[in-house]
Chain A
Amino acid sequence: LAKTTQPISMDSYEGQEVNITCSHNNIATNDYITWYQQFPSQGPRFIIQGYKTKVTNEVASLFIPADRKSSTLSLPRVSLSDTAVYYCLVGDFNSGYALNFGKGTSLLVTP
């Protein structure tokens, strides 16, 4: 399973764009990159998934360079409610095998 590395914590002010980068140097050909968000006392929630280039949905954008050894989750104009832990996962979801969560990045948004 590909190992991921992401910052332990980040701080931002309301209204700013936040970019969280995840390194996954040994990503495999069949692996997808997926980001989850977890609020206190809740289970993680799927945010976005991609394989290459750029993916955008109503919540975030995911940028993946050509070598796929890293990825960046971009949250536009964050609000206080975006304060959460963000996890980067890399794996072959079609295999059905379990994916490992690291400690994630704890994002604190302040006024």
Chain B
Amino acid sequence: NAGVMQNPRHLVRRRGQEARLRCSPMKGHSHVYWYRQLPEEGLKFMVYLQKENIIDESGMPKERFSAEFPKEGPSILRIQQVVRGDSAAYFCASSPTGPYGYTFGSGTRLTVV
């Protein structure tokens, strides 16, 4: 049973380009959470999704960021027109909503140059 799979592990984008980060949850997990971690900072919640639904996006910046979790395929976090301040590690976690919490992926490290 593979864990949470995130790709790419490293992503370099120039300012103004788009970044697409992918997350495949663990088998049997239908809840996906995206977090962002800036250097020397803790993890900040961004968005919580279930299949085809956004449940809580209270942590998402109002502009340029979007997320989806389609019926088929991985969850996608999309950042349009990236800026240097978007450089961070983006982690995805999945949960079955049981009592055991999240399982995290290894993250995608986005560098905007």
User: What is A's interface to B at a CB cutoff of 8 Å?
Assistant: 32, 34, 36, 41-46, 49, 87, 89, 93-104
Contact = CB atoms under 8 A, between A and B. Distances in A.
Contacts, number: 70
B103 A46 contact: yes
A43 B101 contact: no
Q: Which interface class (under 10, 10 to 19, 20 to 34, 35 or more) fits B? A: 20 to 34
Contacts of A95: 97
Interface string B41-59: 1111100101000011001
User: 4 tightest A-B contacts by CB?
Assistant: A43-B104, A101-B43, A103-B42, A96-B97
A99 B42 CA distance: 13
A50 B50 CA distance: 26
A47 to B, nearest CB: 10
Contacts of A42: 106-107
A69 B103 CA distance: 25
B105 interface: yes
A98 B48 contact: yes
